[in-house]
């Protein structure tokens, strides 16, 4: 279970909102426009922002995995080519 899911299970509204704001700050989400007229945080908006920021961070950090897969594929192709060339010369 992720941090956001644990936070959403907190029963006390004030404690849950404080935890959401803290998590939002950790992932780089602005909370300024999420307050309603009563001074309470609009949880659905803040949760959506946190989820979007988390998804974007994961997507931006996964480029190295694609690069590693590409590199492994190229090395495998080179090894197969060398093996074929060596078997023909024998």
Q: 13-49: per-residue pLDDT in tens? A: 889 988 988 999 898 888 776 666 666 678 888 889 8
% of the chain exceeding 70 in pLDDT: 89
The token duo for 59 is: 């997507």
Residue 1 pLDDT exceeds 70:
no
pLDDT at 83: 94
The token duo for 3 is: 């941090």
User: Which H helix or E strand runs over 64?
Assistant: helix 63-89
The token duo for 68 is: 């590693």
What pTM was computed for the model? 0.63
Mean pLDDT, residues 72-90 taken together: 92
């Amino acid at each position: 279970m992720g941090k956001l899911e644990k936070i959403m299970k907190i029963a006390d509204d004030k404690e849950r909102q404080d935890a959401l704001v803290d998590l939002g700050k950790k992932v780089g989400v602005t909370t300024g426009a999420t307050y309603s007229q009563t001074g309470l945080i609009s949880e659905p908006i803040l949760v959506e922002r946190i989820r979007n920021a988390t998804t974007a961070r994961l997507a931006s950090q996964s480029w190295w995995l694609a690069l590693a897969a590409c590199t492994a594929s190229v090395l495998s192709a080179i090894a197969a080519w060398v093996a074929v060339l060596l078997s023909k010369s024998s």
